[in-house]
């Protein structure tokens, strides 16, 4: 783009548009006036060529995102997104998605921490960041408003897990053999609840004592194929169930497929009947698997692989259960007279 004085004495601006050379009159004969026109015209041209996001409201975006995102994701994950978008709309109203920015998202998260919890705020941040990245890829946003916003930090705390004595009390409180098999297998494999309830016999290799989570019947949390070795107790449970099985699903209840919320409710009743820590829930079996391994000297790295964690940093929460490792380390310091 440049400006040139025509033989008539009027200044013209020459520029390119859609691959063609064009010109526009400034209608000014005085250069200073022509430069002012040039400055205004340049800004208008930049705004005209600036990419624009597809207008969409929070409510409609929530529907579009979940419709596209749902295949391949668990019902729990989708329910979490529903909660996040519901809270977002409650805070901002059903506004255009493009009105959200770094400051407004930060303000929203602070409110979630104050009125709900830091855990809810952290979950919202994760969900919003992922959905806004999808929005950018699909033209609904030019940039992710979560970029530059600090992810809420949750305090580290030891996950609840069963002691050996508590687990024995739990087993004694379970009247259903189907539930007892599920619980025993869970604490010996560390599988997540949905990984257990959707496990199929085709995924089981009893001679090799291994199961393969292949993302066919259920998508694993990390979305990666994972092989899980079976110890003697877990193998014994499977062999016993195989003899009397009439279903493609390994863990059924009176021949029926178990529903996650019903299994959780039954489990909590067993915990209450056993008169042990009421904070223990079904997921505590997975924590127990990890905790018992660490207490028996298995490395955090190996436990991380067995659990299918995406990073060993996630598994590090169990590391303090190996205090002897630290004690042995400091004992290597040379003795001094000081």
Same domain, residue pair 111 and 184: no
Q: If you average pLDDT over residues 312-325, what whole number do you get?
A: 74
pLDDT score for 296: 87
Sequence-distant (6+) residues with CB within 8 A of 324 are: none
pTM more than 0.95? no
pLDDT score for 330: 62
Same domain, residue pair 168 and 316: yes
Percent of the chain whose pLDDT exceeds 70: 90
Domain of 103, CATH number, reads: 1.10.150
Among all chains, which residue has been given the structure tokens 């949390």?
221
Report yes or no on 143 lying in a domain.
no
Report yes or no on 87 lying in a domain.
yes
137-141, 228-232, 295-299: least confidently modelled range: 295-299
pLDDT score for 331: 62
Instruction: For 180-213, give the DSSP string.
Output: HHHHHHHHHH---HHHHHT-BGGGEETTTTEEEE
Tens of pLDDT along 199-227?
A: 999 989 999 999 998 765 555 555 567 88
Of the residues 49, 70, 88, the one at which a domain ends: 49
Give 22's pLDDT tier (boundaries 50, 70, 90).
Answer: confident
Report yes or no on 336 lying in a domain.
no
Same domain, residue pair 174 and 191: yes
Report yes or no on 337 lying in a domain.
no
pLDDT score for 337: 53
Question: How many domains does the structure of the chain reveal?
Answer: 3
Same domain, residue pair 192 and 259: yes
Of the residues 137, 156, 179, the one at which a domain ends: 137
User: For residue 314, is pLDDT > 90?
Assistant: no
Mean pLDDT of the residues in the chain? 87
User: For residue 43, is pLDDT > 90?
Assistant: no
- For residue 285, give the nearest of 184, 171, 211, 212 by alpha carbon: 184
Report yes or no on 256 lying in a domain.
yes
Give 14's pLDDT tier (boundaries 50, 70, 90).
Answer: confident
Same domain, residue pair 30 and 63: no
Same domain, residue pair 70 and 44: no
Same domain, residue pair 91 and 211: no
Tens of pLDDT along 163-185?
A: 999 999 999 999 999 999 999 99
Domain of 252, CATH number, reads: 1.10.443.10
Report yes or no on 191 lying in a domain.
yes
Same domain, residue pair 288 and 260: yes
Report yes or no on 92 lying in a domain.
yes
Report yes or no on 334 lying in a domain.
no
Same domain, residue pair 131 and 169: no
33-42, 92-101, 261-270: least confidently modelled range: 33-42
Same domain, residue pair 100 and 182: no
Q: If you average pLDDT over residues 104-119, what whole number do you get?
A: 94
Percent of the chain whose pLDDT exceeds 90: 51
Domain that holds residue 26: 2-49
Give 69's pLDDT tier (boundaries 50, 70, 90).
Answer: confident
User: For residue 40, is pLDDT > 60?
Assistant: yes
Same domain, residue pair 45 and 62: no
Same domain, residue pair 283 and 313: yes
Which long-range contacts link 154-160 to residues 24+ away (Cβ below 8 Å)? 154/118, 154/119, 154/122, 155/118, 156/317, 158/317, 158/320, 159/284, 159/287, 159/290, 159/291, 159/317, 159/318, 160/277, 160/279, 160/280, 160/281, 160/284, 160/287
- For residue 158, give the nearest of 326, 319, 327 by alpha carbon: 319
pLDDT score for 92: 94
């Amino acid at each position: 783009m440049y400006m040139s004085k025509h033989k008539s004495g009027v200044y013209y601006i020459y520029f390119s548009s859609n691959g063609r050379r064009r010109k526009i009159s400034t209608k000014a004969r005085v250069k200073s006036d022509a430069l002012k026109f040039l400055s205004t015209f340049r800004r208008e041209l930049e705004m005209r060529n600036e990419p624009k996001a597809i207008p969409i409201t929070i409510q409609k975006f929530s529907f579009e995102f979940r419709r596209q995102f749902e295949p391949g994701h668990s019902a729990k994950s989708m329910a979490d997104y529903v909660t996040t978008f519901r809270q977002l709309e409650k805070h901002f109203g059903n506004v255009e998605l493009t009105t959200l920015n770094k400051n407004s998202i930060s303000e929203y998260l602070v409110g979630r921490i104050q009125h709900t919890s830091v855990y809810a705020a952290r979950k919202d941040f994760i969900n919003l960041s992922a959905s806004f990245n999808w929005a950018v890829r699909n033209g609904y946003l030019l940039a992710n408003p979560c970029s530059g916003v600090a992810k809420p930090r949750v305090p580290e705390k030891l996950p609840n897990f069963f002691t050996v004595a508590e687990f024995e009390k739990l087993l004694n409180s379970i009247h259903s053999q189907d539930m007892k098999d599920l619980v025993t297998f869970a604490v010996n494999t560390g599988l997540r609840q949905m990984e257990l309830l959707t496990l199929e016999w085709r995924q089981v290799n009893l001679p090799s004592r291994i199961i393969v989570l292949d993302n066919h019947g259920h998508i694993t949390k990390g979305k990666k194929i994972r092989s899980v070795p079976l110890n003697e107790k877990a193998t014994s449970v499977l062999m016993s169930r195989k003899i009397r099985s009439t279903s493609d699903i390994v863990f059924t209840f009176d021949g029926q497929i178990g529903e996650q919320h019903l299994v959780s409710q039954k489990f909590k009743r067993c915990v209450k009947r056993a008169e042990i820590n009421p904070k223990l829930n079904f997921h505590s079996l997975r924590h127990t698997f990890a905790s018992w391994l660490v207490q028996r000297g298995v490395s955090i790295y190996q436990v991380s692989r067995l659990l299918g964690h995406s990073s060993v940093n996630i598994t590090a929460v169990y590391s303090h259960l190996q205090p002897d490792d630290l004690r042995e380390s400091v004992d290597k310091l040379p003795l001094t007279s000081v």
